[in-house]
Structure 1
């Protein structure tokens, strides 16, 4: 074998060897990266669970206090609110500790909560409750809803609505169709400036944090004013959320 041929084969061997070395190195690095990604995913899940747990701790006493204050301030009507109060307390004490509930459960809870807040209203006050529920949808009875996710929008309507004007109103609309949950709450804004408190409510901040942590880009929350009417709209794509949950397993 002459020198030229030898050098040619030697070059091929070196090139092939280098390629094999690079491939082996890439495979090892890829495995290392996948391992780090799994560790990061596990750490993120633990962090989210801890954050959600902390939020729930702040949220439940806040809701519980508001409900009791409403009942106490209208004690003469409590008899008609006992059934709703029982349902609400059961939900707060038991279901709210779970990471997810069904859309059916969350809507039923919200309706009971509205019945409790109804005691604040004059019999002539216009409270509109609308439901467009496709209860035959596959996800309607699956645990995909974050418990107590609807209370902030409902509480704010009763807190800031103009309850005295003859043309005032509160409107609450629940929609569940095409495996998507929607809640729209509207109310006429009170002309009276709200009293300033040393400690402002935490509901709005908690709602956004919980939605960001658990639904990320699978929800949309809009709050805006049209004339003297405040409107809040929450929409959650539960089908997309479930798909991502299954992918993450």
Structure 2
């Protein structure tokens, strides 16, 4: 009888331990399921927050870009008119080129992207207008090394007016009076890259400070960062009395980024 009682007590004790263990396991499973659900919700909320933040950031960049471009166009137009007004005897030729430039500014530049061909053609017309500032003996070298067979050359992949700041800066700061002065402008399009190299001899005369001037380089750098992010390189350096600016944009990588984002 005592043996039987001891056996029942042992079984009861073992059964109690089993049920306690089962309850603990159930609680742990419940906690794990609860935490998993919370983690999933937290991850979804985090993703939603990241998406929302990206939308806000994109909108801010868009607004900033619109602001920069609205400041840019009147600034360029004023420079062009000043150039033409200062040399009335070349007005007919200048106005012909001005027509091309204005068409580009009023219509093409309102588009988010243009073709490299359109941008280079525009820049060449702009250079012709700027030529009226200088003597016929002044050394102005302009070259366009373009591989027109590359598909991206005629695709809308380049930001409009991206070349004007470096060109305008060269005419503004070049030593136009020195006998060995020069401006060199080289456009290149190869391997799906857009290149622009502008160099000029620096004038020894300090340029006249303008109350509301100096937005060109800042505007260019801001636009490049907003549009091309890490797919561009802008270098500015001085070698002796020569200022050199070199812009390189990897349009193939930029297009791949656009397709991925889309």
- The TM-score by the shorter chain falls in which range? over 0.9
* Aligned equivalents of 2:62, 2:46: Cα separation in 1: 24
SS in 1 for 2:153: coil
Cross-structure match for 1:14 = 27
1:121 is the counterpart of 2:149: no
- The answer to whether structure 1 residue 185 and structure 2 residue 198 are counterparts is yes
- Counterpart residue number, 1:151: 164
**Which of 54, 78, 100 is the matching residue for 2:91?**
78
The normalised TM-score by structure 1 is 0.95
2:154 alignment partner, SS class: coil
SS of residue paired to 2:230:
helix
Q: How big is each residue's C-alpha offset from its partner over 1:34-93, in whole Å with a ceiling of 9 and x where there is no partner? A: 111221121112111111111111110000010111111111112223332111010111
Separation of aligned partners in 2, 1:25 and 1:4: 31
Shift in Å at residue 7 of structure 1? Answer: 2.5
What's 2:104 paired with? 91
State the alpha-carbon separation in 1 of the partners of residues 152 and 29 from structure 2. Answer: 55
Partner of 1:186, secondary structure, is strand
**Which of 39, 43, 55 is the aligned partner of 1:26?**
39
Structure 1 unaligned spans of 5+: none
Give the number of equivalent residue pairs: 249
Stretches of structure 2 that go unaligned for 5 or more consecutive residues are: 1-13
Kindly provide the CA deviation profile for residues 150-192 of structure 1, in whole angstroms up to 9, marking residues without a partner as x: 1110001011111122211100011111111111100011111
SS in 2 for 1:172: strand
Which consecutive segments of 4 or more residues in structure 1 shift more than 3 A?
A: none
Would you say 1:170 and 2:183 are equivalent positions?
yes
| Aligned-pair CA distance for 1:11 | 2.7
Question: Post-superposition shift, 1:4?
Answer: 2.3
The structure 2 residue matched to 1:224, chosen from 218, 237, 242, is: 237
2:256 & 2:28 partners in 1: Cα distance?
A: 45
Q: Which of 70, 79, 84 does residue 57 from structure 1 map onto?
A: 70
Shift of 1:136: 1.9
Find the aligned partners of 1:236 and 1:120 in 2 and give their Cα distance.
30
Which residue number in structure 2 is paired with residue 105 of structure 1?
118
Residue in 1 that maps onto 2:221 = 208
Q: d(CA) in 2 for partners of 1:247 and 1:36?
A: 21
Specify the alignment match of 2:53 in structure 1. 40
- Structure exhibiting the larger radius of gyration computed from Cα positions: 2
SS of equivalent residue, structure 1 residue 217: coil
TM-score, normalised on structure 2?
A: 0.90
